[in-house]
Amino acid sequence: MPTPASRLGLVRHGATNWTLAGRYQGHANPPLCATGIAQAASLGLRLRAEPAGMIVTSPLMRARQTADILAEALGLSAPQIDPDLTEMNFGDWEGLTQAEVKARWPQVLRAWKQTPYAIRLPGGEILPEMRERVRAGLRRWHGQPGQVLLVTHAVWIRLACIENGEAIAEEFRNIEVAPASVHWVATAPDKDPGLATTSNKKEISCVSP
């Protein structure tokens, strides 16, 4: 019997107080706020129409809380934890607003906005390094039977959409990833995710709050 077609649901965690304040979060570990808990609960109700077989989550608290809420709503077993789903390390920017970053690192912030793949964040990562984690995570869960929800973070989802051919690298900043939204990407057991080009770009299916 052939393996059922599979699909990955790339879920961004619900909002935290830092999300609402516009603070860079990265590897910092703020919990969901009341708004984020409500967003995750609402997403869980909507996802009942898109039955998943399993949930995998980033180890960061905001993602794990979101994954637990989704698992309860969907009647699934406890989410698995995958460190490769962790958000980008924003280093010295974590906990700061963009205005605060601009006051201290104006040139670095400008470079991050204009050429994001070329700039290492102070004390943090550069996107090509994070890309390796994204590729590892996609390889690990591609080809699983049925649908798998990966509960992760905004930068991770943007890079995953590019790696999976849902967008091109130049569109990195234009991929909208709202809190508690889902980007569905098709997978296949023999597919090796790689950096997309214009010729293999596909539409992104996104479910927002």
As annotated, the active-site residues are: 13, 87
d(CA 55, CA 61): 15
Distance CA 208, CA 193 (A): 24
Of 145, 183, 144, which Cα lies nearest the Cα of 164?
183
Residue 104: both structure tokens together: 């201290």
Q: Cα(73)–Cα(54) distance, rounded to whole angstroms?
A: 12
Task: Report the alpha-carbon distance of residue 118 to residue 27 in Å, rounded.
Answer: 20
Burial of 24 (0-12, 13-18, 19+ CB in 10 A): buried
Q: Could you tell me which of 102, 147, 152 has the C-alpha nearest to residue 130?
A: 152
Strand partners, 182: 11, 207
Cα-based torsion angle of the residue sequence 181, 55, 86, 26 in order, rounded to the nearest 10 degrees: 40
